[in-house]
Structure 1
Amino acid sequence: MAAVAALSLSACGNGGTSGGGGNTNFVTGNNGIDTAARGERAAAPDLSGKTIDGKTLDVADYKGKVVVINVWGSWCGPCREEAQYFAKVSKAYEGKDVQFVGINTRDTSTTPAVAFEKEHGIGYPSLYDPTGRLMLRFKKGTLNPQLIPSTLVLDRDGNVAARALEALDDTALLKMLKPVLAEK
């Protein structure tokens, strides 16, 4: 319950710094994007469940592709600002070994989440996580989502390669995605 309360306090932010101390094996860039070197990346936790449209989704099924995960809520102003860019980049990278997945959090029902995706042209699936339990699965001191919105890029092995704790435009999103996509 304390973790959920802490998560609630950090919701809908415009940036922040990573938690944890000591050697975290990641580098904080001056553009708000944290990255981890290929050999020092933590595996993403189990990110599976029901989507906002009632289907079942498991992010692990996308192993072999680069996965962009965007944590968002329909009630979040910065999420509304960045949605157009996620829609644009996800369409541009369709069929190019990239899968976008949303994690809708803290909406009390799926109705506003479905309306949000329709309004903003989001064509990729979003897990429905009203209590933030999926975010809490990430280990402290890793590139974990700590704010809403947060964006993660998983490499082809399912490890967290990059994270942003702020709303992104298409330029910043591509700065996260392109280096990971270029890895072979």
Structure 2
Amino acid sequence: MSAASRAPLRSDRTTRAAERTRRVRRSAALTAALAATALLVSACGSGGTSGGGGNTNFVTGTDGVATVAQGKRTPAPDLSGKTIAGKTLDVADYKGKVVVLNVWGSWCNPCRAEAKYFAKVSKAYAGKGVQFVGINTRDTSTGAALAFEKDWGITYPSLYDPTGKLLLRFKKGTLNPQAIPSTLILDRDGKVAARSLSALSEERLLKMLKPVVAEK
């Protein structure tokens, strides 16, 4: 076989290999998206229940806010990556502060309903050892998310998590986020102290936050 005749064969093999690689990548992306969807079964809804069984160590009040006593809390998982503004952020760097984590999407009506309260409270507590951090999910691009923040006056950073990979790092049976919006309060040791699986009013947000801020 001449070199000229072998060249098309090599080209065909390269094309087939590239197509297989593309199929594998598409399959991996679909799997991640499906996993995130399964986690957030109450997406843009008003609540849910924690996964797993056994002793979860938390108590859910009549207002839907679940809390854990100081000595029984579990650390938040690694929450690091790029923000919607393209900067690098690691929530662990805020250890020593109380952290308010809000899971949101620009497409989510309840997220819009609570956004003004998060903007207001985040500014009021900026000098009180409290850091707000968003986790933006299921937005296919950062453009809509950035516009959302501008519209509602959100000035704190938000990690960009379009497929829910960060959310899947929370263990079942803990105060894991299961809906959009979800809000978690991390204590000064980086442990999850409280969780809400629904949109919050200013009153309910402060009810979650104040007891953790007051801890010694």
TM range (shorter): over 0.9
Q: Kindly report the root-mean-square deviation, in angstroms, between the aligned alpha carbons of the 2 structures.
A: 0.9
State the Cα distance separating 1:4 from its structure 2 match. 2.3
Q: Deviations over 1:67-91 (max 9, x none)?
A: 0000000000000000000001001
Which amino acid is 1:86 matched to?
F
Partner of 1:140: 172
State the Cα distance separating 1:14 from its structure 2 match. 1.0
Secondary structure of the residue that 1:9 maps to in structure 2? coil
Larger Rg belongs to: 2
State the Cα distance separating 1:21 from its structure 2 match. 1.5
User: CA 1:15–1:46 in structure 2 vs 1: closer, same or farther (change >3 Å)?
Assistant: same
* From 84, 88, 91, the counterpart of 1:56: 88
Partner of 1:14: 46
Counterparts of 1:98 and 1:17 in 2: how far apart (Å)? Answer: 27
Which amino acid is 1:165 matched to?
L
Write 1 or 2 for the structure with the bigger share of helix. Answer: 2
Note the residue ranges of structure 2 that are not aligned, 5 or more in a row.
1-30
Q: Deviations over 1:148-181 (max 9, x none)?
A: 0000000000000000000001100001000000
The answer on 1:67 being equivalent to 2:99 is: yes
Checking the alignment, whether the CA contact within 8 Å between 2:101 and 2:134 is kept in structure 1 is yes
Report the number of matched residues. 184
* From 203, 206, 209, the counterpart of 1:171: 203
Counterparts of 2:37 and 2:98 in 1: how far apart (Å)? Answer: 31
Secondary structure of the residue that 2:211 maps to in structure 1? helix
Counterparts of 1:37 and 1:15 in 2: how far apart (Å)? Answer: 22
Determine what percentage of the aligned residue pairs are the same residue. Answer: 78
> Structure 2 length as normaliser, TM-score?
0.83
Counterparts of 2:112 and 2:64 in 1: how far apart (Å)? Answer: 19
Checking the alignment, whether the CA contact within 8 Å between 2:98 and 2:185 is kept in structure 1 is yes
Which amino acid is 1:34 matched to?
A
The more displaced of 102-111 and 18-27 is: 18-27
> Structure 1 length as normaliser, TM-score?
0.97
Structure having greater relative contact order (Cα 8 Å, sep ≥ 6): 1
Partner of 1:110: 142
Equivalent runs, 1:16-165 vs 2, <5 Å: 16-165=48-197
Counterparts of 2:122 and 2:76 in 1: how far apart (Å)? Answer: 21
Note the residue ranges of structure 1 that are not aligned, 5 or more in a row.
none
After superposing on structure 2, the runs of 4+ consecutive aligned residues of structure 1 that deviate more than 2 Å are: 1-5, 7-10
Secondary structure of the residue that 1:101 maps to in structure 2? strand
